[in-house]
Amino acid sequence: MLALIKLQAGFTLATQPPTPVAFTKAHFSGGKHQPIVLKGIANVQNVNRLVPNAGLTFCPKSLTIVYGRNGSGKTGFVRILRTACRTRVENPAKLRVLADVYGGGSGAQSADILIDTGSGDVPIAWSPGVTAAPQLMQVAVFDAASAQLYVDGGNQIRFLPFGLALPHRLNTVCLILKERLEGERAAAVGNMAALTAIAFNPMRVTTAQTFDKSVSETTTQVEIESAATFAEADQAKLDQISALLAAGATAAADVSALATWTGLIATECETGLSQLSDAALGALSKLKTDAVSRA
């Protein structure tokens, strides 16, 4: 990535970096799997206190809300889905699916999870401890136990799905590349801050520069004349800029002249103070007195 950045910035590299590959749907697993629609759970056996052959049906194209009293079986269905599908928890022991602790049944726990892969309902057999079916890995289950991994007590994100994690990972990579570039720049220019600033400041892109870069053998005379048109408004703007620059030069000359004149005045004042000091006036008075007495 660092080589790609340098190449884009105009650096000459000894080894050409690999050609970047744009993101496609396949990079996000979108092109590898047939979409899965979860249709329901059926034929539940020996799971919590769910009645034999209990089932639950999901609406395939809308939001399904399952509600009921405490102990009515909502959590039992969720526990089946958590062990059959994809979920994240801090404590794997919480994924255990228990039988009815108040009943005397000792049969195997099982259920059928109904999915639709595009050609009708397909039952996927489930039982605890059996490797999950690959199709069900596309179904994510999120509940209160999973929330401990997603959000901590300070509401800080601790886990992101692959697609959402990319911007955060890219930010981390950018910080690493920035550190490396600053290290290379320091080794190349040392403490020459002025040259560093000039080398790394982006240049302003003007309309004229853009047209100049686009000129080729197919550029027509009409396009050139259109790009080179200098209207009265442009001349007025140029005159205004010239006047401002000239005014700045005139102001600078005036300030320089004022500074010179002020310096001369200061010198004359210092001379006057020296010649009219008490000592100088005393000496002059003494000379006058001597001259009068000798006359």
pLDDT in tens, 113-171: 999 988 888 999 998 888 778 888 888 888 777 776 666 544 455 556 656 777 878 88
The SS3 call for residue 105 is: coil
Contact 83, 95 (CB under 8 A): yes
| Cα distances (angstroms) measured from residue 151 to each of 11, 147, 155 | 43, 6, 5
Whether 76 and 107 share a structural domain: yes
Length of the chain: 295
Handedness of CA 126, 132, 137, 140 (dihedral sign): positive
List, for residues 145-156, the tens digit of each pLDDT value. Answer: 777 666 654 445
What confidence score (pLDDT) does residue 39 get? 92
The average pLDDT across 22-34 equals 68
Whether 99 and 243 share a structural domain: no
Higher pLDDT, 112 or 275: 112
Handedness of CA 279, 284, 290, 292 (dihedral sign): negative
Whether 51 and 118 share a structural domain: yes
Give domain status of residue 53, yes or no. Answer: yes
Whether 43 and 116 share a structural domain: yes
Query: pLDDT-based confidence at 29, cuts 50/70/90?
Result: low
Q: Which residue intervals of the chain are DSSP H helices?
A: 2-8, 74-84, 144-150, 162-189, 193-200, 207-214, 221-227, 232-275, 278-294
Give domain status of residue 247, yes or no. Answer: yes
Give domain status of residue 67, yes or no. Answer: yes
User: Amino acid identity of 206?
Assistant: T
Query: How is the beta sheet containing 121-126 ordered, strand by strand?
Result: 54-57, 37-45, 110-116, 121-126
Higher pLDDT, 286 or 101: 286
| Cα distances (angstroms) measured from residue 188 to each of 2, 16, 165, 167, 180 | 17, 21, 35, 31, 12
Domain tally for the chain?
A: 3
Whether 173 and 106 share a structural domain: no
Give domain status of residue 200, yes or no. Answer: no
The pTM (predicted TM-score) of the whole model is: 0.43
Whether 111 and 7 share a structural domain: no
Whether 129 and 48 share a structural domain: yes
Whether 50 and 146 share a structural domain: yes
Mean pLDDT of the chain: 80
Distance (Å, rounded) from C-alpha 272 to C-alpha 256? 24
Q: Which domain holds residue 100?
A: 33-150
- For the chain, the farthest-separated pair of C-alpha atoms sits apart, in whole angstroms, at 151
Whether 184 and 259 share a structural domain: no
Whether 49 and 135 share a structural domain: yes
